[in-house]
Structures are given as structure tokens and as C-alpha cells.
Amino acid sequence: FVPRCGDPLLGSPSLTRSRHCRHLGACAAALARFGDSSGDSSGDLAVAAEQLRLARRELGRITGHVGAEDVLDVIFRDFCVGK
């Protein structure tokens, strides 16, 4: 991810946290999948929309935006609700 995130020794732009680089990479991958699915006229719009949602979610993890879905994920993962 160094080309995408930059080299902190060379100046900005850079994402110095590995977490940011990981989320940016996941966002770029989702956008690439969106591009692959939307280029075909027979592509499923629901699949393309899901890729955009995943990309937005990864950016939100960098900027600090937390949605209800994220809170529910943590609750069910960490607190074992329903087991």
C-alpha cells in the first residue's frame, strides 16, 4: 500500500497508520469490483450498489463515521448476543 498511501519521509499525502492504509486498500478493492460489475450492461445493480456501500464503509472507518450497522457488528461479535 505504500504507493497508495505515500512515504511519510517524502512529505504528504501520507497515511501513517497501517489501519488507514488497510481501510483505504479495502475501499479501492471495493471500487474496483464496482467498476467491474457496472461496466457490463447485464450487471446486477444490487451487487454494484453493495460494492459502493462497502467502499463508503471503509472510508467511514478512516474518518470516524460509525453507523448503526457497525455498532451492531461489534455487539454481536464481542458480546455474543443470542448464543
Q: Where are the domains of the chain?
A: 17-78
C-alpha cell at 39: 461496466
C-alpha cell at 79: 458480546
Say yes or no to pLDDT of 12 above 60: no
pLDDT at site 68? 74
Q: Which is nearest to 50 in space by CA: 71, 68, 63, 36?
A: 36
Distance between terminal CA atoms of the chain? Answer: 38
Say yes or no to pLDDT of 2 above 50: no
Over residues 29-83, the pLDDT tens digits come to 999 999 887 666 666 888 888 999 999 999 988 888 877 777 777 777 777 655 5
More confident position, 2 or 60? 60
